């Protein structure tokens, strides 16, 4: 499947004065100018998009561009100097850190939950059942107490950090059927599942809304509170990496993400802050 990369550029703020943001973390961007290129994990996009928008409103001379592509893309592109900040839904490996001289910052925690269409009657699975579904050993909803209809399996591509944590922690590194439909982002996954009453897939918990139904795993529904208290174990950190120690606008952006304002944006987008 051809990979689709979504890119957003936030350039100017209309009708919003600097005075609105006075005496807050955005003050660090006062007098600055330039472009910060960010790419990688798609789970990060809503947060970075909002941060970019606020920075542009405060100082239109600072432009942040945001692209997706997946965690592997973020790490590779920042390592190769194609972007300033690479986002990933996993920690970079020791080999990646050494090869690219990466310095990474963890600014949020994210859960990954199984989802189905609201029209699907199956609302709970055991870890073993989930493994069998994704391996293809269980291929009909009837075997799980649902309708007599084939299961439509949805997966993410190999560059996805969401996929990596799902396979590692939900499937316990079990196999995934090679015939699964592959989608490129959390948003695309949610849209696909919402439109397919016989589909099953997984998304970041912060992306779960009324268009899809979360599936309890071993009796625990994937929710923000369940990730926070540790009762739902399928979770990962959200990271941003730079090649070498972050400097200039990149450092200012990462500092803002870790500020009280930035962490509030993190939480408003359904993730768990780290401070």
pLDDT digits (tens, 9 = 90+) for 202-236: 999 988 999 999 999 999 999 999 998 999 999 99
* Cβ contact 200:131 at 8 Å: no
d(CA 17, CA 45): 25
| pLDDT on residue 20 | 40
Give dist(CA 9, CA 252) in Å, integer. Answer: 18
Write out the two tokens for 76: 């590779």
- Asked if 32 and 95 sit in the same domain, the reply is yes
Per the structure, the complete domain to which residue 213 belongs is given by 111-235
Q: What is the CATH number of the domain that holds 52?
A: 3.40.190.10
pLDDT of residue 38: 98
The answer to whether position 25 is within a domain reads yes
Same domain? For 123 and 228 the reply is yes
Measure the CA–CA gap between 56 and 105, rounded to whole angstroms: 22
Sign of the CA dihedral 227, 223, 271, 192? Answer: positive
Partner residues linked to 201 by β-bridges: 115
pLDDT tens-digit readout, 65-83: 999 999 999 999 999 999 9
Element of type H or E holding 237: strand 235-243
Domains in the chain, number = 2
Q: Does the structure show a pLDDT above 90 at 1?
A: no
pLDDT digits (tens, 9 = 90+) for 135-156: 999 999 999 999 999 999 999 9
Let me know whether 23 and 88 are in one domain.
yes
Whether residues 28 and 124 share a domain: the answer is no
CB 94 within 8 A of CB 78: no
Same domain, yes or no: 252 and 213: no
Residues 201 and 114 sit within 8 Å (Cβ to Cβ)? yes
Q: Within a domain: residue 69? A: yes
In a domain, 243, yes or no: yes
173, 178, 182, 186 alpha-carbon torsion, rounded to 10°: -20
């Amino acid at each position: 499947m051809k990979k689709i990369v979504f890119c957003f550029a936030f350039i100017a703020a209309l009708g919003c004065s600097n005075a609105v943001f006075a005496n807050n973390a955005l003050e660090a961007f006062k007098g600055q100018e330039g472009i910060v290129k960010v790419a990688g994990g798609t789970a990060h996009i809503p947060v970075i998009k909002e941060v970019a928008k606020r920075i542009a409103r405060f100082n239109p001379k600072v432009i942040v561009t945001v692209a997706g592509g997946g965690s592997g893309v973020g790490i590779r592109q920042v390592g190769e100097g194609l972007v300033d900040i690479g986002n990933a839904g996993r920690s970079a490996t020791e080999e990646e850190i050494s090869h690219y001289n990466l310095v990474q910052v963890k600014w949020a925690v994210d859960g990954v939950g199984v989802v189905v269409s609201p029209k699907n009657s199956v609302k709970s699975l055991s870890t073993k059942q989930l493994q069998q579904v994704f391996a293809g050993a269980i291929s009909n909803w009837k075997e799980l107490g649902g309708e007599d209809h084939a299961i439509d399996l949805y997966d993410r591509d190999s560059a996805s950090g969401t996929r990596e944590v799902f396979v590692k922690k939900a499937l316990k590194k079990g196999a995934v059927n090679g015939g699964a439909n592959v989608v490129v982002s959390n948003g695309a996954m949610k849209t696909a599942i919402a439109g397919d009453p016989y589909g099953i897939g997984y998304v970041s918990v912060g992306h779960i809304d009324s268009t899809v139904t979360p599936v309890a795993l071993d009796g625990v529904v994937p929710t923000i509170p369940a990730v926070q208290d540790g009762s739902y174990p399928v979770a990962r950190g959200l990271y941003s990496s730079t090649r070498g120690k972050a400097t200039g606008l990149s450092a200012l952006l990462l500092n803002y993400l870790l500020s009280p304002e930035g962490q509030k944006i993190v939480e408003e987008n359904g993730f768990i802050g780290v401070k």
